[in-house]
Amino acid sequence: MTQPLQAKQVSVSFDGLRALSDVTLDIPPARVSGLIGPNGAGKTTLVNVLTGFQSPTTGSVVCDGRDVSGLSAHKLRRLGVARTFQGGRLFKDLSVLDNLEVTGVGLGLTRREAASRAVDMLDWVGISHLMTDIAGSLPYTDERRVGIARALMMAPSFVLLDEPAAGMSAHEADDLADLIARIVKDMKCGVLLIEHNISLVLKICEHIHVLDSGELIDEGDPAHIKTSEKVLHAYMGTQGDVDMQGAIL
Partner 1 sequence: MTAVLQILFDALSVGSIYALGALGIALIFGVMRLVNFAHGDYIAFCVFAMLWPSLDVVAIVFIGNLPWFLLIPVILGIGAGLSIISEILVFRRLRDANPATMMITSFALGFVIHNVLLMFYSSRPKAINLWSNLSLPVEIMGARIPLLQVITIVMTIVILLALVTFLRRTQFGVEMRAAAEDFTMARMLGVKANRVIMAAFGVSGALASCIALILATQTGVADINMGLPVMLVAFVATVIGGLGSLHGAVIAGFLIGGVSVLLQVFLPLEARPFRDAFVYSAVIASLLWRPQGLFAPKSSKERV
Burial of 240 (0-12, 13-18, 19+ CB in 10 A): exposed
User: Taking the complex as a whole, how short is the minimal distance between the CB of residue 202 and partner 1, in angstroms?
Assistant: 32
8 Å CB contact between 212 and 37? yes
Q: Collect contacts of 213-218 with beta carbons under 8 A, ≥24 apart.
A: 213/40, 213/41, 213/42, 214/12, 214/18, 214/19, 214/20, 214/21, 214/23, 214/41, 214/42, 214/45, 215/20, 215/21, 215/22, 215/23, 216/23, 216/24, 216/25
* Amino acid identity for residue 28 in this structure: P
Mask for 209-238, x = binds partner 1 (CB under 8 A):
------------------------------
> Between residues 125 and 225, which has the closer beta carbon with respect to partner 1?
125
Considering the rule CB under 8 A, would residue 141 count as an interface residue with partner 1? no
Return the number of the residue (66 or 92) whose C-beta is nearest partner 1: 92
Q: How far apart are CA 128 and CA 65, in angstroms?
A: 36
Question: CA angle 193-199-201, nearest 5°?
Answer: 20
Cβ proximity to partner 1, 151 vs 205, nearer residue: 151
Which of 30, 62, 94, 232 touches partner 1 by CB under 8 A? 94
Regarding 162 and contact with partner 1 (CB under 8 A), the answer is no
Site for partner 1 in 43-72 (CB under 8 A): 53, 72
Of the candidates 8, 78, 203, 226, which one interacts with partner 1 according to CB under 8 A? 78
Among 92, 129, 185, 230, which residue interacts with partner 1 (rule: CB under 8 A)?
92
Q: Quick one: DSSP state of residue 178?
A: H
| Contact call for residue 134 and partner 1 (CB under 8 A) | yes
Instruction: By CB under 8 A, tell whether 87 contacts partner 1.
Output: yes
Question: 206 phi and psi, to 5 degrees?
Answer: -85, -30
- Between 101 and 218, name the residue whose CB sits nearer to partner 1: 101
Pick between residue 134 and residue 232 the one whose CB is nearest to partner 1.
134
Among 9, 110, 169, 227, binds partner 1 (CB under 8 A): 110
Q: Which is nearer to partner 1, 103 or 141 (CB)?
A: 103
Contact segment (CB under 8 A) with partner 1 among 27-35, 36-44, 89-97, 124-132 equals 89-97
Alpha-carbon gap, residue 224 to 159, rounded angstroms: 24
User: How many residues lie near partner 1 (CB under 8 A)?
Assistant: 27
- Distance between CA 73 and CA 52 in Å, rounded? 4
CA 126 → CA 26, 131, 246, distances in Å?
A: 30, 11, 32
Select the residue interacting with partner 1 from 2, 65, 67, 108 (CB under 8 A).
108
Could you list the residues that contact partner 1 (CB under 8 A)?
53, 72-74, 77-78, 87, 89, 91-94, 98-99, 101-103, 105-108, 110-111, 114, 134, 136-137
